[in-house]
Amino acid sequence: MVAIVTPMHADGSVDWDSLEKLIDWHIAEGTDGIVAVGTTGESATLGFREHDEVIERAVELVDKRVPVIAGTGGNATDEAIRLTRHAQRAGADACLLVTPYYNKPTQEGLYRHFHAIAMAVDIPQVLYNVPSRTGVDMLPETVARLAEIENIVALKEAKGSVERMHMLIKEIGDGMAIFSGDDGTAMESMLVGCKGDISVTANVAPKLMHEMCAAAIAGDRQRAETLDAQLQPLHTTLFLEPNPIPVKWALNQMGLIGPGIRLPMTPLADHFHEPVRDALAGLSLV
């Protein structure tokens, strides 16, 4: 599943035409799901109305060809409920809810936050743990408590630790689906039982990412390793600066989106252009 970028014009306004082209391209290339307005989609700098509209447009453009998961997390519980309610009305198939950022809730606070959203909005919900960006790490025992709630159906785990994946799968078993949120360790995570990858790299190499994920989920280590070895330069270079700076620059170089990115994010630094371009060229993407 692709954590899709929100294309923007040079002035920072949303480029709806490019969003349509991206979605059609992803589906043609084999992407299995569209995750709209997550971290990669610059959720932090979209206004409420823009956030709502990107989800509405994504649902409309996908037109039920693949599932749409809407990013609706927030560090205020009421805000997350408001966004999640809108996504349900817009027709999203599920919502992606990041752990509250900056205010650093306790494990009990995390449980109550996600419990409140699940009780307020009857839509399948995917929890999202990314401590490097939020400043809080949702522990496996908290995830296990939340897995008992019927409409909390999955976790996107982006800690980047295969050991953590082992712990989650052991702790939760069949209680919910576990997805990787870290491209660099996604292959190993799927080989130990994760159900897929919500991917940044898939923005630029969707077909190859789909094939690698399919091989890893099937337990075909040899094929998965062969494909992932081709992808590793992208996994690395697309995080030379904070996401989505490198991936938006890469997509611009591929001619798929314009140059727009919103402050406080800035265009990719000049000295990173060559390694990102080399990684793209290695897969004949530029």
User: Which residues are bridge partners to 178 per DSSP?
Assistant: 155
Ranges assigned E (strand) in 176-221:
177-180
In a domain, 47, yes or no: yes
Average pLDDT, the chain: 97
Residue 101 pLDDT more than 80? yes
- In this prediction, residues 23-29 reach a mean pLDDT of 98
Residues whose CB falls within 8 Å of the CB of residue 235, separated by 6 or more in sequence, listed in order: 183, 184, 201
Residue 33 near residue 69, CB atoms below 8 Å: yes
The residue type of 19 is L
Tokens at 207, concatenated: 């077909």
pLDDT at position 240: 98
Q: Which of 207, 265, 196, 257 is nearest to 234 (CA)?
A: 207
Distance CA 82, CA 50 (A): 14
- Is 101 catalytic? The answer is no
Instruction: Check: CB of residue 163 under 8 Å from CB of residue 139.
Output: no
Residue at 240 is within a domain: no
Q: 């700076």: which residue's tokens?
A: 245
Q: Which of 128, 159, 170, 207 is catalytic?
A: 128
Residue with structure tokens 């697309």? Answer: 238
Q: How far is 135 from 98, CA to CA, in rounded Å?
A: 12
The band of 92, judged by pLDDT with boundaries at 50, 70 and 90, is very high
For 103-145, the pLDDT digits (tens) are: 999 999 999 999 999 999 999 999 999 999 999 999 999 999 9
In a domain, 265, yes or no: no
Please report the pLDDT score of residue 4 as a whole number: 98
Whether residue 58 lies inside any domain: the answer is yes
Q: For the chain, how many structural domains are there in total?
A: 1
Given a cut of 80, whether residue 64 has pLDDT beyond it is: yes
Could you report the per-residue pLDDT of 241-272, keeping only the tens digit for each? 999 999 999 999 999 999 999 999 999 999 99
Q: Give one word for 207, left, alpha or beta, with left for phi > 0 and alpha for psi -120 to 50.
A: alpha
Query: Does 173 score more than 80 pLDDT?
Result: no
**Predicted confidence band of residue 185 (pLDDT cuts 50, 70, 90):** very high
Per-residue confidence band for 171, with pLDDT thresholds at 50, 70 and 90: confident
CATH number, domain of 158, equals 3.20.20.70
Q: Say if residues 228 and 180 touch (Cβ distance below 8 Å).
A: no
Q: Are 86 and 52 in contact (CB under 8 A)?
A: yes
Output the six-digit token pair for 16.
Answer: 């709806």
Model pLDDT, residue 256: 98
- With beta carbons less than 8 A apart as the criterion, state whether 153 and 94 touch: yes
Residue 186 CA to residue 24 CA, distance in Å, equals 25
Beta-bridge partner residues of 156: 128, 179
Residue 279 lies in a domain: no
Q: How far are the Cα atoms of 201, 230, 274, 279 from residue 253, in angstroms, in the given order?
A: 15, 19, 12, 12
Residue 64 annotated among the catalytic residues of the structure: no
Is the CA virtual torsion 22, 27, 32, 33 positive or negative? positive
Mean pLDDT of 85-111: 98
Average pLDDT over residues 56-83: 98
Residue 40 annotated in ligand binding: yes
pLDDT of residue 144: 96
Q: What is the pLDDT of residue 135?
A: 96
Give the residue numbers spanning the domain of 99: 2-221
Flag whether 185 is marked binding: no
Both tokens assigned to 105: 């809730």
Residue 227 forms part of a structural domain: no
Task: For residue 44, give the 3-state DSSP assignment.
Answer: helix
Mean pLDDT, to the nearest integer, of 62-69? 98
Tell me, yes or no, whether 232 lies in a domain.
no
Report the distance separating Cα 224 and Cα 126, nearest Å. 25
Cis omega (within 30 of 0) on the bond before 206? no
In a domain, 258, yes or no: no
